[in-house]
Amino acid sequence: MSSTTQHAARLFGGLSGRHRLPSAPLAPDTPLVVAIHGGTYTSAYFDVPGASLMEQAAACGIPVVAPDRPGYAGSPILPAGEGTIRGQAKALTRALHDAWERYGSGTRGMVLIGHSIGGAIAATIASEPGELPIIGLAVSGVCMNTPAEHKPMWEQLPDIPIVEIPPEAKAQFMFGPVGSWAPDMPATSTRIAGSGAPKAELVDIVSTWNANAPATLARIQVPVHYRQAEFDHLWICGQGEVDSFARALGASPRVDAAMVRNTGHCMDFHRVGRSLQLQQLAFALQCAAELPR
């Protein structure tokens, strides 16, 4: 089954991004996957050669759309005060209604895959879906608590809308132990998908998510797939944190939560990336197959 990734200046809802749609007719019980990237990466996070969720989805016959969140690539930055996790979720919710109209035909519903800040945003959308046909949520690289020292660190960033993180510092945050990733992946991923990030979201994820996460997760009423890296330098990690995250999802009918050993924050770019992505896509297929007809 062949397909082609296309990047568009305006993918849907006024946002830029990329999509890959199967060229053959969709099989029964196929979901539409919406992939929401994290901070300091564009939608190309999901299409880096050798670590491409979109390529994996194409092999499974699953259509995928990946918007550039507000403030990334060709998507306009949100006004002051709206660049929070909740503000981003509201902007993306509006765009996803358009995405469903354009790309949802023939699918059973929408499964959100979110990474890092994108995971927090995806969870926020899933907690208040409105009329969006969300049938599942898969998140990675997001916990409930950040180290106390991160808040002043992010707040001390330059007082400009978009901040750039030096590649060397970024690699220290995003990657796990040497040997858990290919030697060229830090440079390749930054070259293809790296970006400046809106300061507002970097500050907000360490300022309000800790307090808002329990109530947000408690409102989610669809199945959830959750994976967290053992060596994630952006979050307070551990099996206890994974268990707390899973317990907070009390309204979800099915929760699959686990720690992934010997890997770092951007799991997609590690040796376990292919396994993670295939698990997420299998989860999306299962969500679609479980729906009554």
> Residue 2 pLDDT more than 70?
no
- For the chain, the structural domain boundaries read 3-290
Distance CA 116, CA 128 (A): 19
**Which of 2-6, 207-211, 246-250 ranks highest by mean pLDDT?**
246-250
Contact criterion met (CB below 8 Å) for 1 and 25: no
What is the tens place of the pLDDT at every residue in 275-284? 999 999 999 9
The top-level CATH class assigned to 3-290 is alpha beta
Smallest Cα–Cα separation from 115: which of 193, 183, 1? Answer: 193
Backbone torsions φ then ψ of 166, nearest 5 degrees? -55, 140
pLDDT of residue 45: 98
pLDDT of residue 7: 72
Backbone torsions φ then ψ of 228, nearest 5 degrees? -130, 140
Name residue 194's beta-bridge partners: 41
Q: Give the tokens for residue 149.
A: 């020292």
pLDDT of residue 150: 81
Burial of 290 (0-12, 13-18, 19+ CB in 10 A): middle
User: Which of helix, strand or coil describes residue 193?
Assistant: helix
Give CA angle at 162 (156, 166), nearest 5°: 70
Smallest Cα–Cα separation from 92: which of 12, 175, 197, 163? Answer: 12
Helix (H) or strand (E) holding 223: none
Confidence of residue 262 (pLDDT cuts 50, 70, 90): very high
In sequence order, what E strands does 144-208 have? Answer: 162-163, 197-198
pTM comes to 0.96
pLDDT of residue 8: 72
Handedness of CA 221, 126, 147, 140 (dihedral sign): positive
Distance CA 266, CA 194 (A): 12
- Maximum Cα–Cα distance for the chain, whole Å? 53
Residue 179 vs residue 159, higher pLDDT:
179
